Structure 1
Amino acid sequence: MKTWNGEETVADFVFDEDIYKLIVDQLDVAVITDQEGRYVHVTKSWEEYYGLQLKDIKGKFVREVFPTTKIHEALKTKESFIGVPAPLVNEKQEQGWCSYIPIIKEGQVVAGFIHVLFHSEKTAVAFSRRLNAMMDELNYYKQEVKQLRKSKYSIDDIIGESPLIGRLKEQIQRAAKSSSTVLIEGETGSGKELVAHSIHDLSQRAYKPLIKINCAAIPAELFESELFGYEYGAFTGADKKGKKGKFEMASGGSLFLDEINQMPLILQPKLLRALQESEIERIGGKESIPVDIRLIAASNTSLEKMVSSNAFRSDLFYRLNVLSIRIPALRERTEDIPLLVDSMIEKFNFQLGLNVQGIQPQVLQRFGEYDWPGNIRELQNVVERGMNMALTGMLEWKHFDEYFQNKALRRLGRTAEKGSLLIRQAKKNLEKEILLESLAKYGDNKTQCAREMGISRTLLYKKMKEYGIKQ
């Protein structure tokens, strides 16, 4: 057994010199130094490249032979230097690229390593080919993994051609390109989970897991263990092996917290810390565990209003509300109902073994006169209900009449012309009154006003012009 330079006083890192030489010699142009930066071993190809012999330089400082070397700086700072142009002995040599790497054991530098790549065009081409082949193989397996872990939904499952849906899809695609936290707000049944899946599916994390937690479905006393996991003995009945929490399970991928407005206040600081520090602690654990997740949160009520009423922490709200997406209610995009219904008929024909051919236009017209408080989920329920009554043929109003008997339809399309004008005018008067109140409330802050009314700033200015409200 010998030390790096064959002397017992140079370093305390002992190894079998013959074996290590065989390993290093496979690396082509390479050098080993001691912890002070003296030559200990060089490969045969290094000797050929530089025209020097190990016997002539062994024990010398590298900087004595090549003054521009970075190995001494690497040993001093304990940091590697990668891709540094290699020193040349003559102009005929091919340019190489050096990596200077300190070898560290138990916090102390015990040796240095220098590796030169691409000392010839032939080597560079061969390396490039191997690298390209490896990247092709890696991309293939990434796609395989993505298929195995594929999101339940994708952006193609968002049905509609209205301007609101077009804008929603643009927001999803923009959010997918970022790794920032996303807050999705929308009424119950509007499709928040579908949007979350679409963001994950389009992101760089698509081949990693998307883990979902419904905050309203977990008892408060179990919430922390579900999020962060626990160690053995953390509480009575704890699994002997401990348990990973959803944060750890989602590491590398995305974590979807649905109905985050239902998260207990007592746990909100812990969630905030996990997001800020990118680490968690299991219940009963003593060490912090690093996690790499992209958080997507959803709420069926305005978190900003909850903050103002002290029902949700403001610091967590600001951490969540980096990228904000509002899903329009179905009543705001009734022009999409025909496409949605066609898609649902096709889906339920397949799932239920039915043979419904379509739906009559007058039924779709009446669907457009209903407010759909349950949004897409309610429409889906109604279509499935009607199809089970019809079984085959065309869907008619008689298949839905019972459902709508006790529900108010907006019969604007079938009222007298005078009545229609009165209703439209009343609606405009109410809208103008709400707009004036909002502007007064926020001191003419158009952004806050638009957010409260659930419309864009552009539409806000259009409404102000329509109602003659001066800025």
Structure 2
Amino acid sequence: MGMTSAEELRQLASESLLAHYAEYCEGAVIVDAEARIVWMNERYPERLGIAMPECVVGQEIEKVIPNSLMRQVVETGRPIMLDIMEYGEAAFVVTRLPLHDKAGKVLGAVGFMLYDDPGHVVSLTARYQRLRRDLAETRKKLAEARKTKYTFASFVGAGTASSVVKQAARRAARTAAPVLILGETGTGKELLAQSIHAASVRAEAPFVAVNIAAVPETLLEAEFFGVAPGAYTGAERNGRDGKFKLADGGTLFLDEIGDMSPALQAKLLRTLQEGEFEPVGSNRLLSVDVRVIAATSRDLEGMVADGSFRADLYYRLNVITLRTPPLRERLEDIALLADYLVDAICRNQGMPPRGIATGAINRLCRHDWPGNVRELANVLERALLMSDSDTLEADDMESVMPTAPAVALPKVVGLRPLGMAEAVAQAEREAIRLALLSSRGNKAEAARQLGISRAALYEKMAALDVDARSA
């Protein structure tokens, strides 16, 4: 026996469709081009309460079923796929389809009573509505998760170094150029990246962050570019979008960019230059519009010099450069930071509001803070958890900090506690002196190391009575 052709299958399906529907549905009716009844199956008259079915043949459909829309189907040639039709005190779920000849002319229509009680579709409709609500809620939560939590107001600090970097970041937010943020661990690089995004024209679009150092090398390409359906054994059937696709129209933050392998550096460079990429296992290019902000605590210039980081990628990322100052170079901000962090920690821990005394601030100013703001937050949280007083004192700091201060500053002046202004002045004076020593008196280089402008350096040297020759 030969194989059945596609045309034969289509014809067979067409011929059997009416028979199957008429057999399994609650009722079926056929009308001609004038909307006159030409046939009803046995169930339909029973559902309508018609005692003599043969009497309805030849009558206009509205005379038998007043609310029928079969005439509309015949006249328009368009189906009514799902409807609720009322008949006396009853209501039926129905579908209506036009019947065409080979030339496409409407010859009549067929109607099927799918259910004799609309309640049968209530659960289906309710489930559909519930799924729609769940999908909308999930999309809303996902959109919220991809929005930034921080703005420039979150970068606490009023000193020169903080003001300079925030001003430069605000300028960067007005452009679409790539940004490279350099700074030690814990200086707020991601906070600054989120602030730039939140102040940009892309603020309503996604902000997607990738910590390159936290993702295994073998998974980074899939993390960036996504995976095509069935790309490899165990891959998801529908594929998976990568971070570039998720960030389309918004900002992609690449943290610890210095940890990226040379092979992935080349693929990233192509994506940044061409604005397109291939998902893993795909041979189709996808276009993407993403603003990239990269950050690292490593010396990228040194890595370029020794060949471990591509020079062309470095120059592509290094269009706008921001340097987040370490905490030891912005000691004038410690009082503000400490107040802010103490308040935030108390809220997060469910504690009553607490304060911090001047003596405790002085003790904080005498530490080198290699872990920067992250270390400061850790120290303050430990002090708050170990103290029962309403205000943190110097002794509370001593119990959770190294006993030997990393920066030797005077603890007393004339046997009295060092005031905030004096502590800050001492710290700034020492920082400027060390920068001038390191740069061999080159004030432009010293200003760069301090993260301030040369004009600001001259002002501080005059105000603090720092002699460049004695530095």
TM > 0.5 fold call: yes
Report what 2:363 is aligned to. Answer: 366
CA shift, 1:451, in A, is 4.8
Question: Secondary structure of the residue that 1:414 maps to in structure 2?
Answer: coil
Contact 1:146 1:207 in 2 (8 A): no
> 1:194 aligned to 2:191?
yes
CA 452–267 in structure 1, closer or farther in 2 if over 3 Å, else same: farther
The answer as to whether partners of 1:356 and 1:394 remain within 8 angstroms in 2 is no
Q: Deviation per CA, 1:94-139, whole angstroms, max 9, x where unpaired?
A: xxxxxxxxxxxxxxxxxxxxxxxxxxxxxxxxxxxxxxxxxxxxxx
User: For 1:76-225, what aligned pairs fall within 5 Å after superposition?
Assistant: 149-225=146-222
The whole-number CA distance in structure 1 between the counterparts of 2:162 and 2:451 is: 15
Please give the alpha-carbon distance, in whole angstroms, between the structure 2 residues aligned to 1:303 and 1:313. Answer: 9
- Give the drift of 1:346: 1.3
Of the three residues 204, 223, 231, the one matched with 1:226 is 223
Match 2:324 to one of 316, 322, 327: 327
Q: Report the TM-score when normalising by structure 1.
A: 0.61
User: What per-residue deviation string (whole Å, max 9, x for no partner) do you get for residues 282-331 of structure 1?
Assistant: 11111110000000101112211221122211110000000111111111
Contact 1:356–1:387, Cα closer than 8 Å, also in 2? no
Unpaired runs of 5+ in structure 1? 1-143, 440-445
Partner amino acid for 2:307?
A: N
Give how far 1:157 is off: 0.8
SS of 1:310's partner is coil
Larger radius of gyration: 2
Q: What CA deviation, in whole Å up to 9, does each residue of 1:450-470 have, x standing for no partner?
A: 65675544467788x95369x
Alignment match, 1:253: 250
CA contact (8 A) 1:146 1:206 kept: no
- Paired with 2:293 and 2:322, the residues of 1 have a C-alpha distance of 11
Paired residue for 1:304? 301
Distance 2:431 2:348 in 1: 42
Contact 1:355 1:392 in 2 (8 A): no
Post-superposition Cα deviations, 1:240-259, rounded to whole Å, max 9, x if no partner, equal 11111100110000000011
Does residue 286 of structure 2 align to residue 283 of structure 1?
Answer: no
1:237 equivalent in structure 2: 234
Partners of 2:326 and 2:402 lie apart in 1 by: 23
Q: CA deviation at 1:391?
A: 4.0
Could you tell me how far 1:147 is from its partner in structure 2?
6.7
Aligned in 2, Cα 1:151/1:287: closer, same or farther, shift over 3 Å?
A: same
Count matched residues: 317
Query: Which string of whole-angstrom CA distances, capped at 9 and with x for unpartnered residues, describes residues 208-254 of structure 1?
Result: 10001000001101010100112123222211111111001100000
Q: Given that residues 370 and 410 in structure 1 are in contact (C-alpha distance below 8 angstroms), is that contact kept between their aligned partners in structure 2?
A: yes
Report sequence identity in percent: 41
Tell me the SS of whatever aligns to 2:234.
Answer: coil
Residue aligned with 1:372, SS: coil
Contact 2:252 2:291 in 1 (8 A): yes
CA distance 1:255–1:156, shift in 2 (3 Å): same
> Amino acid of the residue matched to residue 280 of structure 1?
F
Per the alignment, residue 391 of structure 2 pairs with 394
User: How far apart in 2 are the matches of 1:211 and 1:224?
Assistant: 16
Give the stretch that moved more between structures: 446-455 or 291-300. 446-455
Please tell me whether residue 435 in structure 1 is matched to residue 432 in structure 2: no
> Partner of 1:436: helix, strand, or coil?
coil
The alignment status of 1:274 with 2:271, answered yes or no, reads yes
Distance 1:329 1:380 in 2: 14
What is the CA-CA distance between 1:154 and the residue it aligns to?
A: 1.1
Q: Does 1:350 align with 2:351?
A: no
Shift of 1:392: 4.3
CA deviations 1:317-364 (Å, max 9, x no partner) are 000000111111111111111111111121122111212431121110
Mind listing any 5+ residue stretches in structure 2 that lack a counterpart? 1-140, 415-422
CA RMSD of aligned residues (A): 3.3
Distance 1:192 1:412, change over 3 A: same
Residue 28 of structure 2 corresponds to none
Cα pair 1:356 1:390 within 8 Å, conserved: no
Residue 415 (structure 1) shift? 6.7
Partner of 2:374: 377
What are the superposed Cα offsets for residues 354-390 of structure 1, whole Å, 9 maximum, x if unpaired? Answer: 1243112111011111111100000001111111112
Summarize the Cα distance change of 1:375–1:329 in structure 2 as closer, same or farther, 3 Å threshold.
same
Give secondary structure in 1 for the equivalent of 2:440.
helix
Query: Is residue 161–residue 451 contact of structure 2 (8 Å, CA) maintained in 1?
Result: no
SS in 2 for 1:226: helix
Structure 1 position 279, deviation (Å)? 0.5
The code of the aligned residue for 1:190 comes to T
Instruction: Work out the CA distance in 2 between the residues paired with 1:167 and 1:410.
Output: 24
Partner of 1:141: none
SS in 2 for 1:276: helix
Does the aligned pair in 2 maintain the 1:279–1:288 contact within 8 Å? Answer: yes
The question of whether the paired residues in 1 share the 8 Å contact of 2:432 and 2:450 is answered with no
- In structure 1, what residue type is equivalent to 2:468? Y
In 2, distance between residues paired with 1:247 and 1:397?
48
Label 1:407 to 1:224 Cα distance change in 2 as closer, same or farther (>3 A): farther
Whole-angstrom distance in 2 between the partners of 1:430 and 1:411: 13
- Displacement after TM superposition at 1:273 (Å): 0.4
TM-score by length of 2: 0.61
Residue 204 of structure 1 aligns with an amino acid whose one-letter code is V
